[in-house]
Amino acid sequence: MTLEKKIHAVLDAPLRDRGYELVEVRLTFGTVIALDISMDRLDETPVSVDDCVVVSRVASVILDVENLVDGKYNLNVHSPGEYRPINDVDGLQRFCGQEIRLELHSKINGRKKIAGKLLRIEQNANDTIVYLKEECDTGAEWTAVFYSDIKKAAVRRFFSI
């Protein structure tokens, strides 16, 4: 298990108990180690600065006790931004009906990147099939993508201010 996955594992439940979802953990090793935590609210309201402070304090205490990162590090807590990563099939189910972007391992209709409204997800014997409705010059087109062909997925978050 990678260090990032270990950090994710120790922080996931305590953050979830406080109403937050740990979206991504990234470590960057350089002159100073940077630990970036991307988090979201479980109630799907926009992440505030106060939310980042809460997650930062909780993560700091847990990481100090667990002592997973050797040496000093900078902890950066932030929202996932306009395009929130989707990390698994459950995440796709959660964001069904919303606008998503996919980056693929191989081309479909000559493209490795597609975007559209996530309409449906089906499980067949070998894989999960993701159905998108793409808007294009000629109207809307349905696109079916095997989950195993998805390299990266992200949902577009729209928040009004």
Which tens digit of pLDDT belongs to each residue from 51-81? 999 999 999 999 999 999 888 999 999 999 8
pLDDT at 44 over 90: no
Distance CA 51, CA 32 (A): 25
pLDDT at 147: 92
How close are the terminal C-alpha atoms of the chain, in Å?
40
Distance CA 8, CA 13 (A): 9
pLDDT at 88: 87
Q: Percentage of residues in the chain with pLDDT exceeding 90?
A: 61
**What's the token pair of residue 45?**
């309201």
What does the DSSP 8-state code read for residue 88?
S
pLDDT digits (tens, 9 = 90+) for 95-148: 899 999 999 999 988 889 999 999 999 988 888 999 998 876 666 688 889 999
pLDDT digits (tens, 9 = 90+) for 8-29: 999 999 999 999 999 999 999 8
pTM of the model: 0.76
pLDDT at 161 over 50: no
Task: Report yes or no: 4 and 32 within 8 Å, Cβ to Cβ.
Answer: no
List of domains in the chain:
3-81 (3.30.300.70), 85-156 (2.30.30.180)
Distance CA 15, CA 135 (A): 37
pLDDT digits (tens, 9 = 90+) for 137-159: 666 688 889 999 999 999 987 65
Distance CA 71, CA 74 (A): 10
